[in-house]
Amino acid sequence: MLNVDLTGKIALVTGATGQLGRVMAKTLAECGADVVIHYLKSDVKARELEAVVTAMGRSSLIVQGDITDAVSTLALSRAIFDRFGRVDIVVANAVSQIEWKSVLEQAPEDYVNQYDACVLQSVHLAKAFVPGMMENGWGRFIGINSECAMLLDPQASAYSIAKRAMDGLYRTLAKEIGEHQITVNQVAPGWTISDRDRENHTEQQETYERRVPLKRRGTDQEIANVVAFLASDLASFITGAYIPVAGGAVMPSI
């Protein structure tokens, strides 16, 4: 029987108080990892999540900061190292929300905003935590991408092209640090059911579901399951991958 066993590992989840991030953090804790909970604004939600993680018997640390900023990322990395001494698993999940508009209407600063959130976040995290992984000869660097990087839907240019740029960064990083037994992968959710949908009873979206081969939306837990798998030794020979968790809505070709 195969088990996703992360006992003894230290996992950092950015944007851990978000709709998907909180489920990722809980799932990693359920698999045995101690969890660093990063947030930008949601202090109350961070403390609620910390209580859940510690109730599982795991150690937890809350860190606040803007991980699109190098100085802020360095400061929170110091707090993590002071507490745990290392990070084994990085899950770059934090996002920045903008209103989607056409290319002709989208403000130039929105493109910068999305690039910072999708690309520079991971650059700063890599600089902060990959050197320690290299010293330890083990690490997992996981980015949350999106099906939008392949769909390239109208009105989504700022978000979609930032996610495509993120893909290039992750593939390059995978080649640069693979010799140290550090894997670098991306999980690409489709339009996912989260607690917000459950609260608002918006789980079903028929127009979207019709174009999904599995004819349904995925759930936050299904996304978190793939993250936990990639974080484990079960995925020790997978790197440089962009893995859609979208019911077949997008299918990377060979």
- What is the spatial distance between Cα 55 and Cα 180, in angstroms, rounded to a whole number? 34
Question: What pLDDT is stored for residue 217 in this prediction?
Answer: 98
> Is there a domain that residue 5 lies in?
no
> Is there a domain that residue 129 lies in?
yes
Determine the structural domain holding residue 186 and report its residue range: 10-245
**Confidence label for 254 from pLDDT (cuts 50, 70 and 90):** confident
Residue 159 annotated as catalytic: yes
Question: What pLDDT is stored for residue 5 in this prediction?
Answer: 97
Count of structural domains within the chain: 1
**Confidence label for 243 from pLDDT (cuts 50, 70 and 90):** very high
pLDDT at 73 over 90: yes
> Is there a domain that residue 60 lies in?
yes
pLDDT at 36 over 80: yes
The domain that holds 25 is classified in CATH as 3.40.50.720
Describe the strand order of the beta sheet including 242-245 as a list of residue ranges.
60-64, 34-39, 10-13, 89-92, 139-144, 182-189, 242-245
Contact 89, 231 (CB under 8 A): yes
CA 59 to mean position of chain CA atoms: 20
| Model pTM score | 0.96
**Confidence label for 1 from pLDDT (cuts 50, 70 and 90):** confident
> Is there a domain that residue 1 lies in?
no
Question: What pLDDT is stored for residue 117 in this prediction?
Answer: 97
> Is there a domain that residue 254 lies in?
no
> Is there a domain that residue 42 lies in?
yes
- Mean pLDDT over 226-244 rounds to 98
Residue percentage of the chain with pLDDT more than 70: 100
> Is there a domain that residue 4 lies in?
no
Adjacent-strand bridge partners of 61: 36
Catalytic residue among 39, 111, 115, 159: 159
- Mean pLDDT over 129-151 rounds to 98
> Is there a domain that residue 250 lies in?
no
**Confidence label for 237 from pLDDT (cuts 50, 70 and 90):** very high
- Mean pLDDT over 90-103 rounds to 97
